Structure 1
């Protein structure tokens, strides 16, 4: 679990599927109101307090984004609340008032430190007859986004393993990259990189 502070009232938490499995939570459980998910949320809030000083004692908006290869991204936004004198006596488990938004994305987003890694990956992916993808530059790093890859489970896992050899799963979404990043190749990035870079 990785916690990142976005601003005074907002944090982003990245959960891998291993984080979920350690707690006995399946991906589909995140969409249900069960005690394990509440316990996970409390763990996330405790870690956020320890690591970035983010405390919650009132209403919060929680956005959960499921990313197929990466895990889950949870955005927690703290709402404004009145401060009560007896706040120290309260049990914090009882004072979360959550508004939850859930989204599932089929997009696969990987980040690369070096443009050469992106090119090398494109050649390996192209050899497996997988094409498509869009490439972006953002904050000095390179991103490759694949939308809805339709492969049998074994080939899909091999594809993810191949991506992981050259880059790492990103918590950024396609929409963030489209809005704030610079488009290098919009669609068919694998073919374009293979055609122009040997």
Structure 2
């Protein structure tokens, strides 16, 4: 579980599928009202408070983005209390440890993997070239190469094979396209896999 602050009132939490499975939670459970999900959310808020000093009191808007290979990105935005009406004790309201959550869930077709060594990416490219038609975009961001692919047109068997290879050579990352487009260097704007295969031979 990785937590980062986006602004004073907003944080982003990256949950891998291992984070979920360790707690007995399936991806589909994330929008269900079950105790395990509430426990996970409380754990996330405790960690956010400990690591970032993020205070989760008050109404919270929770956006859950399900990524096909990496896990889930949870965006938590803290709202503000309405001014209490006369006769309402605000302290009593704050003492109740109940999070007011408005949860929305979105699916994403984006696959994003990071590679610290370009040689690993070369080896991977030669293996996955037959699997991908739309063969991606390559960025360089914070000393790592980040490969962006889309999974929307892949059959399930092809998708599983692709993810297995990506996980073997790279590491799933929660960085978003918006961040990459603004802050990363674009190495190959399109056809990244076929370009690598054409110009670089694997070492082995």
Which TM-score applies when normalising by structure 1? 0.84
CA contact (8 A) 2:141 2:180 kept: yes
Q: Post-superposition shift, 1:122?
A: 1.1
CA deviation vs aligned residue, 1:25-57 (integer Å, no higher than 9, x gap):
211111233333222211211121222222211
Q: Post-superposition shift, 1:87?
A: 6.0
Identify the residue that residue 188 of structure 2 maps to in structure 1. Answer: 185
Q: Post-superposition shift, 1:82?
A: 6.8
Q: Post-superposition shift, 1:120?
A: 2.5
Identify the residue that residue 32 of structure 2 maps to in structure 1. Answer: 32
Q: Post-superposition shift, 1:19?
A: 1.8
CA deviation vs aligned residue, 1:125-158 (integer Å, no higher than 9, x gap):
22x44351211122332111110151343x4333
Give secondary structure in 2 for the equivalent of 1:54.
coil
Map 1:40-59 → 2, pairs under 5 A: 40-59=40-59
CA–CA distance in structure 2, aligned partners of residues 176 and 101 of structure 1 = 21
CA–CA distance in structure 1, aligned partners of residues 166 and 111 of structure 2 = 10
Question: Residue 89 and residue 6 in structure 1: after superposition, are their counterparts in 2 closer, same or farther (change >3 A)?
Answer: closer
Q: Post-superposition shift, 1:73?
A: 0.9
Q: Post-superposition shift, 1:88?
A: 9.4
Which TM-score applies when normalising by structure 2? 0.82
Identify the residue that residue 151 of structure 1 maps to in structure 2. Answer: 155
CA–CA distance in structure 1, aligned partners of residues 196 and 188 of structure 2 = 9
Question: Unpaired runs of 5+ in structure 1?
Answer: none
Question: Residue 39 and residue 188 in structure 1: after superposition, are their counterparts in 2 closer, same or farther (change >3 A)?
Answer: same
Count of residue pairs brought into register by the alignment: 194
CA–CA distance in structure 2, aligned partners of residues 179 and 104 of structure 1 = 23
CA–CA distance in structure 2, aligned partners of residues 129 and 21 of structure 1 = 28
Identify the residue that residue 195 of structure 1 maps to in structure 2. Answer: 198
Cα RMSD after superposing both structures = 2.5
Q: Post-superposition shift, 1:191?
A: 0.5
Rg larger in structure: 2
CA–CA distance in structure 1, aligned partners of residues 164 and 32 of structure 2 = 30
CA–CA distance in structure 2, aligned partners of residues 87 and 187 of structure 1 = 56
Question: Unpaired runs of 5+ in structure 2?
Answer: 84-88
Question: Residue 188 and residue 26 in structure 1: after superposition, are their counterparts in 2 closer, same or farther (change >3 A)?
Answer: same
